[in-house]
Amino acid sequence: MDSTQFKRHRRLRRSANLRSMVRETHLRAEDFIYPLFIVEGENRKNEVSSMPGVFQISLDLLKRELDEIVSLGIKSVILFGVPEEKDDCGSGAYHNHGIVQEATREVKKHHPDLLVVADTCLCEYTDHGHCGLVENGQVLNDASLALLVKTAISQAEAGADIIAPSNMMDGFVSAIRKGLDEAGFEDIPIMSYAVKYSSAFYGPFRDAANSTPQFGDRKTYQMDPANRMEALREAQSDIEEGADFLIVKPALSYLDIIRDVKNSFNVPMVAYNVSGEYSLIKAAALNGWVDEKAVAMEMLTSIKRAGADLIITYFAKDAAKWIKESN
Ligand code: PBG
């Protein structure tokens, strides 16, 4: 056969070592940010029914979990609070001894180098389950910003390394940046959930965090899944307001958006591989329908290939173990 007539792509696929030599995308344990749900009370480790392998953990049991995370080479966690009491203004979010503030202190006590990303939002703490203040059935933008700023400052005071506002009010990055700076936290970066879609893939998270909206939905503040240019507008304004990282969320149905944002901005890009993406794989794996490890690693690799520098994922511990085993 005259090999000038076609290319022999299979030459580079002939052995495992050759394939490894030309592999373009590599996952590392330090790529992952592991979400933790911290519940009030003692001696609690409740598995989330819609997220097998994910637990709500009380403060007294946190150290063991952290030891495992650190031993796997994971460098950062993102904290979500599951408070016992909620009110209409989400005061548990910005209480100095709120559940996330206390969990942050606990992490810093045992593992000062483990990076704490604080999710800055009100929905886990409001009785109506919305991410901001509600008046006459409307989620208020500017009035909610003041509470978010208080939340971010209290998280930084507790020792959070990175503030990650997720509530999708307009102007949250500039408000939080100004608030942090005035409180003396000019060195604390903001990881903005800049591009957050109104997604059905968040369903299991709302079980884990008890944060389902009690009326309506989040469509007046989270984005329409059909929109692409709007993602670039959201990312652009967060960059102008001072975001140090950009998050795109969810990940798997939004790989095109991850790539667009990566190509357009030169800050570290984070993808949130959300609860529903985890649960779909878990459920199929528990039924024996897919190979969990192979499917999960393919998903994470594709998210990184699409342009994510970091991935927030419930598979972080499993993936870190799998990566260790393969070395
Ligand atoms: C809080 C928040 C949500 C998620 C992260 N932060 C829920 C929501 O917006 O309803 C979802 C994460 C996931 O599904 O894994 N606003």
pLDDT in tens, 50-63: 999 999 999 999 99
What's the mean pLDDT in 259-284?
98
Residue 250: is the preceding peptide bond cis (ω within 30°)?
A: yes
Contacts for 279 with CB less than 8 Å, ≥ 6 apart: 50, 51, 52, 203, 204
Residue nearest to atom 11 of ligand 1 (CA): 202
Ligand 1 centroid–CA 261 distance in Å is: 20
DSSP bridge pairs for 139: 134
What's the mean pLDDT in 91-99?
95
Probe residue for ligand 1, chosen from 48, 124, 125, 205 as the CB with the greatest number of ligand atoms within 8 Å: 205
- For position 299, what pLDDT does the model report? 98
Q: How far apart are CA 104 and CA 36, in angstroms?
A: 11
What's the mean pLDDT in 282-301?
98
Closest CA to 171 of 200, 199, 128, 140: 140
Q: How far apart are CA 211 and CA 146, in angstroms?
A: 21
Helix (H) or strand (E) holding 35: strand 32-39
Ligand 1 centroid–CA 87 distance in Å is: 19
pLDDT in tens, 67-91: 999 999 999 999 999 999 999 999 9
199 touches 276 (CB < 8 A): yes
Let me know if 249 is a catalytic residue.
yes
What's the mean pLDDT in 86-114?
96
Band (pLDDT 50/70/90 cuts) for residue 210 is confident
Let me know if 196 is a catalytic residue.
yes
pLDDT at residue 105 tops 80:
yes
Atom from ligand 1 closest to the CA of residue 314: 15
- For position 3, what pLDDT does the model report? 61
Could you tell me what percent of the chain has a pLDDT over 90?
A: 89
- ∠ at Cα 118 (144, 245), nearest 5°? 90
Band (pLDDT 50/70/90 cuts) for residue 228 is very high
Contacts for 117 with CB less than 8 Å, ≥ 6 apart: 33, 76, 77, 78, 79, 160, 161, 162, 163, 164, 191
Atom from ligand 1 closest to the CA of residue 278: 15
pLDDT at residue 154 tops 90:
yes
Ligand 1 centroid–CA 236 distance in Å is: 22
On whether 234 is known to bind a ligand per the annotation, the reply is yes
Contacts for 34 with CB less than 8 Å, ≥ 6 apart: 69, 74, 76, 77, 78, 312, 313, 314, 316, 317
pLDDT in tens, 8-48: 999 999 999 999 999 999 999 999 999 999 999 999 999 99
Q: Amino acid letter at 197?
A: Y
Domains and CATH numbers, the chain: 28-326 (3.20.20.70)
Residue nearest to atom 10 of ligand 1 (CA): 202
pLDDT at residue 124 tops 70:
yes
On whether 89 is known to bind a ligand per the annotation, the reply is no
pLDDT at residue 1 tops 80:
no
Ligand 1 centroid–CA 210 distance in Å is: 11
On whether 19 is known to bind a ligand per the annotation, the reply is no
103 touches 143 (CB < 8 A): no
For residue 18, give both structure tokens.
Answer: 């050759």
pLDDT at residue 181 tops 80:
yes
Q: Which residues have C-beta atoms less than 6 Å from ligand 1?
A: 119, 121, 123, 131, 166-167, 202, 205-206, 211, 274-275
pLDDT at residue 291 tops 90:
yes
Q: How far apart are CA 41 and CA 103, in angstroms?
A: 12
On whether 202 is known to bind a ligand per the annotation, the reply is no
pLDDT at residue 242 tops 80:
yes
Ligand 1 centroid–CA 306 distance in Å is: 21
ipTM value, please give it.
0.95
On whether 121 is known to bind a ligand per the annotation, the reply is yes
Closest CA to 254 of 274, 238, 237: 274
- For position 322, what pLDDT does the model report? 98
First to last CA, the chain: 39
Probe residue for ligand 1, chosen from 38, 130, 211, 253 as the CB with the greatest number of ligand atoms within 8 Å: 211
What's the mean pLDDT in 270-295?
98
Residue nearest to atom 7 of ligand 1 (CA): 202
Burial class (CB in 10 A: 0-12, 13-18, 19+), 187: exposed
